[in-house]
Chains A and B, each alone.
Chain A
Amino acid sequence: MKQLGKLFSTVIASAMIFGLPSHAHADNHKAMDVPTIKASVVMSGLENPWDMAFLPDGTMFFTEKCKGLSVRTKNGTVNALYGIKDSKGYRDSGSDLFCEGQAGMLGVVPDINFAKNRTLYVYSSSTKYHGSGCKTNFEKCNGNIVMRFKVGNDLKSVSDRTDIVTDIQYKPFESNQPFGGPGAHNGGRLRVGPGGFLWVTGGDRHRGICPQDGQLLCGKVLRIDGDGNAHPDNNPPAGFDKRIYTYGHRNVQGIDFRPSDGRAFTSEHGPWHNDEITALVNGGNAGWDPAEKRGGRGACPDMYCGYEPNQKEGMNPAIRAAYTPMSDTRFKDLMPAAWNNNGYSQGTGSAAFLRGSNWGIYEGRLTVGIMGIGFGGTPPGSRIDIIDIRPDGLGISSVVRMPLEFSKRFRGLVMGPDNALYAATDEGEIYRITAEM
């Protein structure tokens, strides 16, 4: 009995000595400030939800590409506010608004002074300003606009639509390209940056001359005020439209501002090579130039070299990158990419910096939604990457795949006021992704 008691004491003592480190080992992630990440569905059954925008009380505006603008109030009620042409169930609609291919009702963001002025901005495709310029793919076709609305106090309606940008180009017809439908490379993300200015992202709409042309707004990032006027400090090259903050883009669907210094970063799709994240420089060139007969290239199908040298078959992405680079080093004002997805293009959508100490070591890192397209040997991989960008914006320190245990085509990412990341998927859901320490 005495011996049994001694043995029992020894076991207890051992557990006390060795048990504690063992417990600490099991919770090692806490010691490393790695948060526990969980995802839950906030909304489902939506039709191509594209973007969301929050008010401080949790009210969430959201767009569905081929339907329109809605709001989910803080108590969960959903009000359909402003639809595109022929959409059903909306309080109001725009007969000029339409969707086609990648185009439709896309970005949404509230004004920085929303509490006072109830102002909301929305990006959409529109027929209102086509004029006579959309007869072929090789004309200036003004088919994308930024609208300003006043939101009713009861969140049941919007009014006073004012089109503050009316001349972002659109691709009206099919062309001889792999993703050649109308509405291609349509950009469309809206965000409010430091100082309350509005940032608008564009795509090259499959027109070769767009990104490097100083008067066309396709393939550009704009920085404007709430009336659509250029920020006074924009510094594009001489002769350029003053609304242009950066140019030489292919298709920017992600933009956010680094919490530590307010610097703008974009994420954009690559052409079967090199999805890119880029730290923007005022007046800088992202280096995309798909025009034919430039950079050593000859003629290309429909005067667009974006999928060459072989747009019919899969081939080594590095060969494509050498032929039509995403970041062409022949430009002296090139903004080098911070990240290029290991040379692959899998379809980067949106981007959002993680804010809040609940994200632990990931706080301040950039999340990027990736649709996961895989062609010609490129591995598919729908996911959200968490990217630690170097302070100089010219490289990264690490990439971590967000541990969600499911794969979706992540189209829209935005931080909520609760320091959770909200993600819209092409499959039709909006997720709330939380982090806890």
Chain B
Amino acid sequence: MENKKHNRLYAIFLSRERIGMIRLAKAMLLLSLLNFSGYAWSGDKAAGEARYNQSCINCHGPAGKGVASYPKISGNEVSYTKSKLETYRDGIRVGPNSDLMIMMAKPLTDEEIANLAAYLKDAKYENK
């Protein structure tokens, strides 16, 4: 009798645990989906534009169009721009103006890099 009762309680426990596990799995799936979708369209364009206009614009010109001897940096894939900025932030030299870019990229956070990359992908110059 005691054993029967114990088995029934154990079965209930297992069933609740299973439900808990399923809920946990669902939550993890949701979280991973959110995270993945966040990566796919990563970055806030408006925040990226604001950050761009703080300093990048002084060399690369409005909307990343490239001016003087500073290259065009708009129109590139998000992953490309992120990778470049992360490379400079890590202090790795790529090209003749690396010292300048390393200096400018050093203080950037992951979020700022994502925002800049999102903004620059579709940024277009219009003389206003």
Contacts and interface: CB of A to CB of B under 8 A. Distances in A.
Q: Do A and B bind each other?
A: yes
B97 A380 contact: no
A180 B67 CA distance: 17
A312 B127 contact: no
Contacts of A380: 55, 58
Nearest to A65: B68
B59 interface: yes
B103 A313 contact: yes
Nearest to B65: A427
Contacts of B67: 48, 409, 426-427
Interface in B27-68: 55, 58-59, 61-62, 65, 67-68
A181 B65 contact: no
B127 A311 contact: no
A409 B103 contact: no
Contacts of A174: 95-96
A178 interface: yes
A373 interface: yes
B125 interface: yes
Interface residues of A, number: 32
Interface residues of B, number: 19
A374 B99 contact: no
Given A48-B68, A102-B69, A181-B69, A374 B100 contact: no
B103 A427 contact: no
B127 A44 contact: yes
B58 A180 contact: no
A251 to B, nearest CB: 12
A372 B58 CA distance: 6
Contacts of B125: 427
Interface in B79-107: 95-97, 99-100, 102-104
Given A376-B103, A426-B67, A429-B127, A179 B97 contact: yes
Contacts of A411: 68
A183 interface: yes
Contacts of B59: 373
Given A375-B100, A375-B103, A183 B69 contact: yes
Nearest to A44: B127
B69 A409 contact: no
Interface string A361-373: 0000000000111
B61 A426 contact: yes
B103 A312 contact: yes
Interface string A81-101: 000000000000000000001
Contacts of A428: 127
Contacts of A182: 96
A270 to B, nearest CB: 16
A2 B97 CA distance: 83
Q: Which of B67, B97, B104 has the most CB of A within 10 A?
A: B67
Nearest to B58: A380
A382 interface: yes
A378 to B, nearest CB: 10
B106 to A, nearest CB: 9
A60 B103 CA distance: 40
Nearest to A381: B58
B55 to A, nearest CB: 7
B55 A374 contact: yes
Contact of B61 (A179, A374, A427): A427
A181 B96 CA distance: 5
A69 B90 CA distance: 42
Contact of A181 (B55, B97, B127): B97
Contacts of A181: 69, 95-97
A349 to B, nearest CB: 9
A295 interface: no
Q: Which of A41, A101, A183, A411 has the most CB of B within 10 A?
A: A101
A409 B61 contact: yes
A183 B97 CA distance: 13
A63 B104 CA distance: 31
Q: Which 5 A-B pairs have the closest CB atoms?
A: A181-B96, A426-B67, A174-B96, A180-B96, A178-B99
22 contacts: A41-B127, A44-B127, A48-B67, A48-B68, A174-B95, A177-B96, A179-B96, A180-B99, A183-B69, A312-B99, A314-B103, A371-B68, A373-B58, A373-B59, A374-B55, A374-B58, A375-B100, A375-B103, A375-B104, A380-B55, A380-B58, A427-B67
Interface of B: 55, 58-59, 61-62, 65, 67-69, 95-97, 99-100, 102-104, 125, 127
Given A374-B55, A376-B103, 20 more contacts: A48-B67, A48-B68, A101-B69, A101-B96, A177-B99, A178-B97, A178-B99, A179-B69, A179-B96, A179-B100, A180-B97, A182-B96, A311-B99, A312-B99, A313-B103, A372-B58, A375-B100, A427-B65, A427-B67, A429-B127
